[in-house]
Amino acid sequence: MKNIWNYLLSRIITGFIVIVPLYLCVLLLLRIMSSLARLVRPIAILLPDWLPGENLLALLAVLLLCLMVGVIVRTKAGYAVQQRFERSLFQRIPGYSLFRSLTQRLAGKSEGTVWQPALAEIEEALVPAFIIEELNDGRYTVFVPSSPSPLAGTVYILERKRVHPIDVPFKQAIKVITRWGEGAKELVAVMERNTQT
């Protein structure tokens, strides 16, 4: 009974972690669109009645706004403003920097060793893991995800000799976890090549 309860609880938490950010993004998008709908109403009147003009123009305005912010942030001054804004506001939100680094990894932009794929020695086994940070004494904080859900798992602090960083794309490591270990032989092969050199 306890195993069933643990299974259900971990799946509920995993679903919560996935659904809440998506819900908040959709809610924010709809809120912005409703604010912009008033601005685009004069133009929407010119469109045919069968076309959802206000909503369509509001969505296009949101996409245009995202494009403009993306272009500005890519400039040197825009990047500096973004970094200052992140340090003063977003870094105070618990878990923000960790989830930011996770999304950057998913997008293919690595940032140091955060979410670095690894194989960790837990008891007598090697398990797929991700390095979250390196402690001052050289140990690693690692996240060992549950299979098949990579967003739920256990955090360990392990000695450096028990953590084997592997040079594989983040998406490949995630794929191994979501497929119940299928493809793990490639991860082990990379680790073994690293230890031989």
- Residue 141: its pLDDT value, please? 92
Spans of all domains in the chain: 2-92, 116-196
Q: How many CB atoms lie within 10 A of CB 189?
A: 12
- Residue 33: its pLDDT value, please? 78
- Residue 41: its pLDDT value, please? 73
CA distances from 25 to 49, 53, 69, 142, 162 (A): 29, 22, 17, 28, 38
- Residue 178: its pLDDT value, please? 84
- Residue 39: its pLDDT value, please? 78
Nearest-angstrom CA–CA distance, 151 and 130 = 11
- Residue 91: its pLDDT value, please? 61
- Residue 139: its pLDDT value, please? 92
Residues of the chain with pLDDT under 50: none
List alpha helices for 45-180, DSSP H. Answer: 53-73, 76-88, 96-106, 170-178
